[in-house]
Amino acid sequence: MKKLLQCLIIVLVFIGCGTANYATQEYIPIKKTPVKYKKSNKIEKSPSTNLIEKMNDNKIAIIFPSYTIGKYALEATNSVNTYLIHKNTNFTLKVYDLRVQNRQNIFKVIAQIQKDNISKVIAMITKEDLVYLNEIPNIDKIQFYFPLINKYDVKNIAKLNKLNALFGAINYKEQFKKLINYYRGRSFVEFYDNSGIGRTLHSHLKNERIKFTKKIDDNNGKYKSFLVNNPKLNNSVLLLNTPIVKSSILLSAINAQRSTIFSIVSTQLNYTPLLFSLTQKNDRKKLIVANSIGKIPSELEEYNNLIGNNLSYSWVNYSITVGVEYLINGNITIFDDLSLKNNQVVYPIKLYRVKNNSFQLIK
């Protein structure tokens, strides 16, 4: 089964076209129902014609800027493929690489999508360039899914009135709210770094009362200067807004310096099994993480696991899968703990303690 899936998850060969690349793949499912023959004088369409018509209904495009999200782009394409093969449905998947996300490339790719008569698009772009889509003629004829954008993070969303869109990113602000409410009454401190996600998470806390904030960048692993003899850390809850590798180093340093931090909390950013290989047991004993990846239909999870495409710990892959379900069926009812509200996917938020070798749900 694994070899079969790996064969079906086709490696896409990109064909250069100006500043963007395009590739196409088609899939016709294997039907197990026996063929029935009957006499008829009626001239019917051939099976191949019917398949082509159905494929036209299930044509999906995925666009992304590979220079900035190359890794996620490959995983996203695999997620779309795996979902559609799991559904055993006819589909045509067309992949458009923006390379660099800017107005010119977005206009060029959308023009090609319109020429290719595709009306369902997964757009892996960031919120900064949504305004360009709104400028394109007949853009309302395309149904967009934005897996990397949460609607409530977009300023002046009302001005994007031409877009027919569903937003699918998780809500980091709500994760922070749940983490902070869990330790209501405690004082909070924050460590963040200069990565894109670090700056974004830091900005989400601008309205919170944070007693001490430290930007972690050029310390070369030497964190003693702010971890030792820092009274602001005493009995405080640390909001850890750094990616997993830096988080692991910080957790180790906090433990080594016998810091008097009361607890450490983090968002989806550090909900990853890498914690168990990059840290020691005592390093993570105070850590609690938030997670918004909901229930996954068991068969769909098995298909993804067979090709090494983990949905349980990759919220981007999970969001992509939710988006394909919506574009194909017009709903997301197979994900029974998710909902749609005002063109935004609403995810559950659960808190987990990081134990010896697993995440333990806090009920």
Question: What domains does the chain contain, in order, with CATH numbers?
Answer: 1-34+52-169+295-347 (3.40.50), 172-291 (3.40.50.2300)
Please state, in angstroms and as integers, the Cα–Cα distance from residue 75 to each residue in 9, 71, 308, following that order. 11, 7, 10
Q: Residue 360: helix, strand or coil by DSSP? A: strand
Spatial distance between the Cα atoms of 269 and 193, rounded to a whole number of angstroms: 13
Is 262 a residue whose pLDDT tops 90? yes
pLDDT number for residue 146: 97
16 or 293: which leads in pLDDT: 293
pLDDT number for residue 310: 86
Among residues 172, 208, 209, 134, the alpha carbon closest in space to that of 292 is found at 172
**DSSP H/E element including 289:** strand 287-291
Model pTM score? 0.86
Please give the order of strands across the beta sheet that includes 143-146: 15-17, 20-27, 91-97, 59-64, 120-123, 143-146, 164-167, 344-346, 339-341
Q: What average pLDDT does this structure show over 66-71?
A: 83
Predicted confidence band of residue 20 (pLDDT cuts 50, 70, 90): low
Spatial distance between the Cα atoms of 143 and 141, rounded to a whole number of angstroms: 7
Q: What is the pLDDT of residues 166-218, one digit of tens each?
A: 999 999 999 999 999 999 999 999 999 999 999 999 999 999 999 999 999 76
Q: What average pLDDT does this structure show over 320-324?
A: 96
Is 3 a residue whose pLDDT tops 80? no
Q: What average pLDDT does this structure show over 98-110?
A: 94
Spatial distance between the Cα atoms of 317 and 148, rounded to a whole number of angstroms: 10
Is 38 a residue whose pLDDT tops 80? no
pLDDT number for residue 220: 61
Spatial distance between the Cα atoms of 301 and 305, rounded to a whole number of angstroms: 6
In the structure encoding, which two tokens stand for residue 241, read together?
């807004």
